[in-house]
Structure 1
Amino acid sequence: MLVAGLTGGIGSGKSTFCAAFSRLGVPVIDADVIYHHLTQPYSIANLLVEQQFGSQSLLNDGKLNKDWLRQIIFDDDCKKKQVEAIFHPLILDEIKSQISQLESNYIYCILAVPLLFEFSDFLNLSDYTIVIDCSEATQVARVMQRSGLSHEQVKKIIQAQMSRNERNRLADLVICNEEGFDSIDDKVSQLHKFLLEKS
């Protein structure tokens, strides 16, 4: 089974592309979805975060205090690495488990990882890499519209990620998603045919 790693900057449209693949019956392994499951109330991951950072890292209902955690990650690279050391092994194990369950029944799957190129453990699971790309101005506008974050907050998130040029340089294939979401189904349909042939 071919594993197509899919990534892109915040606001690029990764989730919308993944949904389009799902509608075609293609299995999608999404690191963000796995992270969401790992951070359910009183999960092992949450308890590990609390041990590392104290009670302020959790909300009263046992959920991860994601706003607080996001802030400390952006302000302190050392703490960012500590958080990654907790979550990445757990996410990696779940991804490997899901790939193992799929490989005898599917020709290919999509592995969606925001930090695909930043971490070799995730990249090494991919046989082919796809970047969903758009301009920084489009990223900022989309994220502000959907999240309510300020322009400065979104810029800070973008600056904390790998640069657009570097991400595109590393990809096997770059898909432009500048014009909006209306054309995504057509693009995914073409990608689907391509990946079936490549598989």
Structure 2
Amino acid sequence: MRVLLIEDNLRVASALSTALRRRGHSVTQATTAAEAIEAGPVDLVLLDLNLPDRDGLDVCRQIRRHDKHVAIIAVTARGEERDRVAGLRAGADDYVVKPFSMAELQARIEAVMRRAARAPRNEETLAAGPLRIEVNARRVWLADREVSLTRKEFDLLMALARQTGAVVPRDRLLLDIWQTTWAAGHTLEVHVASLRAKLNDPGLVQTVRGVGYRLRVG
């Protein structure tokens, strides 16, 4: 199982990662909200609500907006009833208060994943040239090879794939993905370059100078 561990306490994160890997899970670590949002698709998120750059509840809401099926467990020192209620309302499937035992966390993980497995899903798959995109699972396949993308890279690819062959204006991509029509540091261009590199086909995402980008057909 792919686990995203969002925890800024390095000692706690190291101990949890080791315990999870011993149980056979693949673990990606993030110490900030920014790192968490950029992480690739996973099956389970373990989320500390006390992050240095952003409130964990906001991160929970954003992750839930991007993927309504991913399992989220809040793992935090906030133990008041109002905190538990806020966490569950923000989109967490369960709420574990520190300190806790690994046995308890593992039991809660198993319970959450059982519920996720039983939940009905309307799986959507998009085909765009050599690409196959599993929308709900947020997974991308190039022929028989899975391509690991960050959240923003996946969102960018989706925006282009839903209009394959058509030019998607630069401002529309910025608005849809970054909720702004202005971004510093050539943000869009950097993500396009990264996406092209991971797809191993620079011509798949085409630049229409002065307008935007399009996904090549065929």
Higher relative helix content: 1
Give the TM-score normalised by structure 2: 0.31
Higher relative strand content: 2
Give the TM-score normalised by structure 1: 0.33
Larger radius of gyration: 2
Query: Larger relative CO (CA 8 A, sep 6+): 1 or 2?
Result: 1
